[in-house]
Chains A and B, each alone.
Chain A
Amino acid sequence: MSFALHRPTSLAAALALAARHGAAARFLAGGTDLVIQIRRGRLAPAHVIDLSAVPGLAGIAGTPEGGLRIGALTTLKAIERHPAFAGGARRALAEAARVVGGHQVRNVGTLGGNVVNASPAADTLPALLALDAEAELVGPGGTRRVPLDAFLLGPGRTDRAPEEVLTAIRLPPPPSAASASAFLKAGRRKAMEISVVCAAARLDLGADGRCVAARLALGAVAPTTLRVRAAEALLEGHVPDAGRLAAAAAAAAAATRPLDDVRASARFRRHLAGVLAGRALAACLGRMGNGEAA
């Protein structure tokens, strides 16, 4: 490792540094991915811009329209423990945050870092996709918002320009009163796992019991976190009975483009994708039945 370290104390200063060093610079949030990638030689930035002294980048707050704004530097631990995710419609995010590494990593690792790192196996990303998250970016041209599924372009690649800072993740309000989400993960161990497959789902039901909106997203089965629109389409407008859920799960498995690697074969990943997708959707329904919905 060898780099110059910068510690701007304002967003403007951070942007100026980014503009000056361009692709030679990387932003440092918690560093739990970045430092390992630098040490493994996968990244070799000449400049590291530590964002921890920039005010206002951490914290979770409600938005006027009833959504949530999660500062990019909010730690995974803060998400895990925040009441906004303790139950109800956004529970999937806490469930995902809670299974990233050990407490050591979650006390430092940030949601923004997780998003910018854009690992196809990242646990928080399917949950964020299920919750219709948007990335909020600030750059020389001002602030812009990008839906997360458009933001994630490939392994380690996002729509963020080198001179932009990811400042927050925004979650819109759930579209119906009956909404629940769930996150599930499969790995070789019960903790400290990079997911072999992970899945997040959200279901919103109308007063007639029909599905107003469905979201299903999978991790570690494609070059990016995969939102399975085909499965969502099978559910939306219908009563999500067992047959519909099974069809959606099958569609999820069919949509995967997994790899064979040291953690699992493509065939097993596809199998797990179907299993976890079905279970995540069923968990959403179960939670609504338990009166847990938002």
Chain B
Amino acid sequence: MRLDFTLNGEAVAVEVPPDWTLLQVLRRELGLLGTKENCLEAECGVCSVLLDGRVVNACILLAAQCQGRSVTTIEGLGDPERLHPIQQAFLDHGAVQCGYCIPGMVLAAKSWLDENPGRLPGEDEIREALAGTLCRCTGYQKIVDAVAAAAAALAKG
């Protein structure tokens, strides 16, 4: 099956089996390993990516569902020299421990903040926004603080 989509701002065309998920395309075919693999049943959220700007689980999204659409992975957000404000906030607030869930967390946060532009979310709203991504290290607190700080930074522009 030929799949044409936009990945991190660039047009991509790949030939993949029809039963592959987006996660398989990203990790196996394209070597983009920032999108993590774990439960494969949309329960843990480490595979989160943005589909047309909204966070989705790449593990249960068939690659075919991305036909003609735009996918953003953590590699499309910032790099170590030019961090995205959300990534910077995660570092500044000590929100990263083992880090395996963090790409998914950052993208879940970005999706919510983009969906609610200019909004300074309360703690409960942030927790709701992140509930689809499990973190076993941090207890979420510093992640919540980081997202609040990122929202403020983004609102200031």
Binding site for B on A (CB under 8 A): 1-5, 7, 28, 31-32, 35-36, 39, 48, 50, 52-53, 77, 101-105, 107-108, 190-192
Contacts and interface: CB of A to CB of B under 8 A. Distances in A.
Given A3-B19, A102-B133, A36 B54 contact: no
Nearest to B54: A107
B64 interface: yes
A36 B55 CA distance: 18
Nearest to A53: B67
Given A2-B19, A191-B128, A50 B57 contact: no
A108 B55 CA distance: 9
Given A5-B18, A102-B132, 9 more contacts: A3-B19, A5-B19, A7-B67, A53-B67, A101-B42, A103-B132, A104-B45, A107-B55, A190-B131
Interface centre among A4, A32, A35, A48 (most CB of B within 10 A): A35
B61 interface: yes
Nearest to B43: A192
B114 to A, nearest CB: 12
B108 interface: yes
A102 B104 CA distance: 12
Q: Chain A: interface secondary structure?
A: loop
Interface of B: 1, 18-19, 21, 40-43, 45, 48, 51, 54-57, 60-62, 64-65, 67, 108, 111-112, 128-129, 131-133
Contact of A104 (B1, B42, B65, B128): B42
A32 B40 contact: no
A63 B131 CA distance: 35
A3 B64 CA distance: 12
A105 B54 CA distance: 10
A273 B96 CA distance: 41
Contacts of B43: 192
Given A7-B67, A50-B64, A104 B19 contact: no
B21 A107 contact: no
A77 B53 CA distance: 13
Contact of B18 (A3, A31, A191): A3
A31 B51 contact: no
A10 to B, nearest CB: 16
Given A5-B18, A5-B62, A104 B57 contact: yes
Contacts of A53: 67
A52 B61 CA distance: 12
Given A102-B133, A103-B111, A1 B19 contact: yes
A101 B56 CA distance: 11
27 contacts: A3-B19, A5-B19, A5-B62, A5-B64, A31-B62, A31-B65, A35-B21, A36-B41, A36-B42, A39-B60, A48-B18, A48-B62, A77-B54, A101-B42, A102-B108, A102-B131, A102-B132, A103-B111, A104-B42, A104-B48, A105-B42, A107-B55, A107-B56, A108-B51, A190-B131, A192-B131, A192-B132
A69 B146 CA distance: 40
Given A5-B1, A32-B42, A35-B21, A103 B55 contact: yes
Nearest to B20: A1
A103 B129 CA distance: 7
A60 B8 CA distance: 31
> In the complex, which of the residues A31, A48, A102, A107 has the most CB atoms of chain B within 10 Å of its own CB atom?
A102
Contacts of A2: 19
A32 B65 contact: no
A4 B131 contact: no
Interface hub of A53, A107, A108 (most chain B Cβ within 10 A): A107
Nearest to A40: B41
